[in-house]
Amino acid sequence: SQTIHQWPATLVQPVGSPLSLECTVEGTSNPNLYWYRQAAGRGLQLLFYSVGIGQISSEVPQNLSASRPQDRQFILSSKKLLLSDSGFYLCAWSEDERTTGYFGPGTRLTVT
């Protein structure tokens, strides 16, 4: 069966510091991978979407970037964090419609 991992679970970072969040999926090949963010006042929002290695689509303009260096690895980054980057970051995967809807445990980011 498939398993999705995210780390770290919790992160507190100062404004202006860099960010790297990692998501990995086990038990599947060539999945679609997604980064969502849940932030106060903005609900749950899709940030990035990837259909394969090196293929990233940005859904909303922002201070963040994403990369997919390996088939089952998805990384969310920032060079300089803003206060508005605080939130709960969730990674998700799918192969097709029947495997859509499964999320990792999330990373709670607080920017101070």
Partner 1 sequence: AQSVTQPDIHITVSEGASLELRCNYSYGATPYLFWYVQSPGQGLQLLLKYFSGDTLVQGIKGFEAEFKRSQSSFNLRKPSVHWSDAAEYFCAVAVTGGGNKLTFGTGTQLKVEL
Does the footprint of partner 1 cover residue 39 (CB under 8 A)?
Answer: no
Q: What contacts 13, CB < 8 A, 6 or more positions away?
A: 19, 81, 109, 110, 111, 112
Which range touches partner 1 (CB under 8 A), out of 17-25, 60-68, 76-84, 101-109? 101-109
**Beta-ladder partners of 43:** 39
Strands (E), the chain: 3-7, 10-13, 19-26, 32-39, 43-52, 55-58, 65-70, 73-78, 87-94, 102-103, 107-111
User: Residue 40 or 83: which CB sits closer to partner 1?
Assistant: 40
Question: Where in 42-71 is the site for partner 1 (CB under 8 A)?
Answer: 43-46, 49, 51, 59
**C-beta of 79: minimal distance to partner 1 in Å?**
26
State the Cα–Cα distance between residues 111 and 86, nearest whole angstrom: 5
Binding test (CB under 8 A) with partner 1, winner from 1, 54, 69, 98: 98
Binding test (CB under 8 A) with partner 1, winner from 8, 16, 18, 105: 105
CB 74 within 8 A of CB 91: yes
**C-beta of 75: minimal distance to partner 1 in Å?**
19
Applying CB under 8 A, which residues contact partner 1?
32, 34, 36, 43-46, 49, 51, 59, 90, 92, 94, 96-98, 100-106, 108
